[in-house]
Structure 1
């Protein structure tokens, strides 16, 4: 690998994106946040919930408006291939973009301007040409939203243990089963559903289907009130749901690889997200240490507070450096190629666990610096501490990441 190919610096197009995004926050997002504040329905980061425990529809619609506007300006999906209508950014570029978005948006509506789990993802790039026009292009433009239906009530990390199944019936497939812990379950227009199509075939046993939200037999269950308290997580039930064969993503039997490309995407997004939010929390902690007095002096004069802030900076720089170097290496192999490079899973797991654990410690220190104010329900520090705790489970628990890292190292040792 050449020094140029391993560069971790922001490219000119990544810089141009962040410049445009800064203007978008000022010109589009800020007025929408001011309008949202008039309705007394909470904020994007701490929304009030409706009578069924779901995100208040006014907050949801404000987020959707941000997505539509970002899509119209080609800001929403820089991670999707350029030939499909996205920006074609690699993972190092996306780190810089995500870092900027999370740092400058904080917990505001600006976060909705960059596609998250309800937007287009690496797995959706494998849709057929006809399905791209129907689903992918509208997703890239922020015109519709999606949800990834993989996890089940009794199946999480063990993807191959899922019980939702699909059986061919003529040119269609019939889906039956339940999915749980699905983000955006209530609002999605289309679901990327992973189901068993050939039991006992190992990694070839699963297939991914695109299922419209209004398909007969598909029922949205109750909200699952998690510690995120955002009213976006719930259950889905499939009862003899008929799906046409053209709604299969890639090929029958590719479901496991496609599911892992989605999961690995979320793992890699930890780098920019945790870095951006980490910088935001450090800036807030420094301001707090200068403003808050104890004994007539700023608490920042106290060595104990200085050590807390220093440790926050330590966590930030270690995780950020790891993220950029790992993603530069992954860019050489193709972070979401099918099949994936044999060394990629180890690096992806390493990046996820380092960020998850570092951000958790950083968020904990942030609360300590803010004292009782940091414990206030809905304060940025309290909300991000809950986010940080949450991150250590979705897209593979910390323990699973350690297993993947160890397997990769032992496999390399066996070959050498």
Structure 2
């Protein structure tokens, strides 16, 4: 049963963070966005791409500047445990933080102030002393960026179908394989690579390793142009890459559980991310409907438009309410525990599928209300529609989430 005593309000620590982020956004982010606009190199959400199809270097450097300065201001990693130098915020606190950041930033550079896939993630509590010193510390300060290398050309949702291998060689390991659809592959300073160490051992067959990008045999493959068209996705190729055992993250055979910790982090972040963007889309749709004229009246007077606005708000509210309750329950269960409680697995999947689908419906209606203006390439509505469509696949498709929800329901019946 769902607990009845859960507090879903934002506390003093969240309010302090949001005040500081607002100042950071005004003092640091906005001037950088103005400078990018002056340089005519695209926008943070629709960057110009170079000949290789990668994000324009000036846009990338602007994002890196925001990351470094956010880290210095104590804004970059509130979600990371205090033991790793982070803020130690709970998932409930992060829900409110993420909602504020995504609503305030929209699609701008401010999003880089809060660590995403290329930054520190909760699974790094399993890193040993050497990895913490050489990788986690500079990652936390924004000095370097990372990639999470799990997906392969023929292994996406079927994680256990991956072919990348790590074989014992003396006191270290030799890794060979190919990873695809990897965010930050073109730029990462190091990759967290999941590889098979014991074929046929099921969920104990995988282990995670830190692989620095300057190691012999590590190279960047072709870019993967996606619906986002942001120049940040590509392939990583490992050809007999040697790493010491101290580069292992977690125990041998623990790679599946640790990889799922990372993936589940991306899933639970949907709550605040989608809440922020949904609120932005609803606000913009209402403003546009009140301003746009049809037959001498604003289109907001038309019942067909009013119903679309009402449906957007119903989706926004219900997804946000689901997220708040789920995050609070997850804090009690342990959102990143290894092993993860079955009830937590179910809640994480519920959170992701509800937000993915509500966000998609809201973005779709936002484009419709804006009409031709919503179809303009690079508009907020057009880009968020593409983002919404994209989100239903990474970190486990919505179909996989439904399978997981049903499996836990049936097993617990």
Q: What TM-score, normalized by structure 1, do the two folds share?
A: 0.98
Distance 1:21 1:133 in 2: 28
Residue 125 of structure 1 deviates from its aligned partner by 2.1
Distance 2:362 2:274 in 1: 10
Are 1:252 and 2:252 counterparts? Answer: yes
Residue 129 of structure 1 deviates from its aligned partner by 1.9
Distance 1:122 1:257 in 2: 12
Q: Name the structure 2 match of 1:19.
A: 19
Summarize the alignment of residues 203-352 of structure 1 with structure 2, pairs less than 5 Å apart.
203-352=203-352
Structure 2 SS opposite 1:207: strand
Distance 2:270 2:70 in 1: 21
Q: Name the structure 2 match of 1:72.
A: 72
Aligned length: 412
Distance 1:123 1:329 in 2: 20
Residue 139 of structure 1 deviates from its aligned partner by 1.2
Structure 2 SS opposite 1:343: helix
Q: Name the structure 1 match of 2:177.
A: 177
Alpha-carbon contact 1:182-1:233 (below 8 Å) kept: yes
Structure 2 SS opposite 1:340: coil
Alpha-carbon contact 2:130-2:247 (below 8 Å) kept: no
Q: Name the structure 1 match of 2:389.
A: 389
Q: Name the structure 2 match of 1:162.
A: 162
Distance 2:342 2:15 in 1: 32
Structure 1 SS opposite 2:98: helix
Distance 1:343 1:2, change over 3 A: closer
Alpha-carbon contact 2:207-2:256 (below 8 Å) kept: yes
Gaps of 5+ in 1: none
The C-alpha deviation readout for 1:91-119, integer Å capped at 9, x for no partner, is 11000000000000001100000000000
Distance 1:382 1:31 in 2: 25
Alignment root-mean-square deviation, CA: 0.9
Distance 1:27 1:83 in 2: 30
Alpha-carbon contact 1:275-1:316 (below 8 Å) kept: yes
Structure 2 SS opposite 1:193: strand
The C-alpha deviation readout for 1:168-205, integer Å capped at 9, x for no partner, is 00011000010000000010011000000011111111
Q: Name the structure 2 match of 1:31.
A: 31
Distance 2:3 2:343 in 1: 19
Q: Name the structure 1 match of 2:131.
A: 131
Gaps of 5+ in 2: none
Residue 290 of structure 1 deviates from its aligned partner by 1.1
Distance 2:411 2:327 in 1: 21
Summarize the alignment of residues 105-120 of structure 1 with structure 2, pairs less than 5 Å apart.
105-120=105-120
Residue 244 of structure 1 deviates from its aligned partner by 0.5
Q: Which runs of 4+ in 1 moved over 6 A?
A: none
The C-alpha deviation readout for 1:62-117, integer Å capped at 9, x for no partner, is 00000000000110000000121100001110000000000000011000000000
Alpha-carbon contact 1:11-1:93 (below 8 Å) kept: yes
Alpha-carbon contact 1:8-1:324 (below 8 Å) kept: yes
Distance 1:391 1:212 in 2: 28
Distance 2:206 2:56 in 1: 35
Are 1:366 and 2:359 counterparts? Answer: no
Q: Name the structure 2 match of 1:103.
A: 103
Distance 1:108 1:334 in 2: 32
Residue 160 of structure 1 deviates from its aligned partner by 0.8
Alpha-carbon contact 1:125-1:136 (below 8 Å) kept: no
Residue 14 of structure 1 deviates from its aligned partner by 0.8
Residue 130 of structure 1 deviates from its aligned partner by 2.3
Alpha-carbon contact 2:18-2:100 (below 8 Å) kept: yes
Distance 1:2 1:233, change over 3 A: closer
Alpha-carbon contact 1:120-1:136 (below 8 Å) kept: yes
Alpha-carbon contact 1:50-1:56 (below 8 Å) kept: yes
Residue 124 of structure 1 deviates from its aligned partner by 1.6
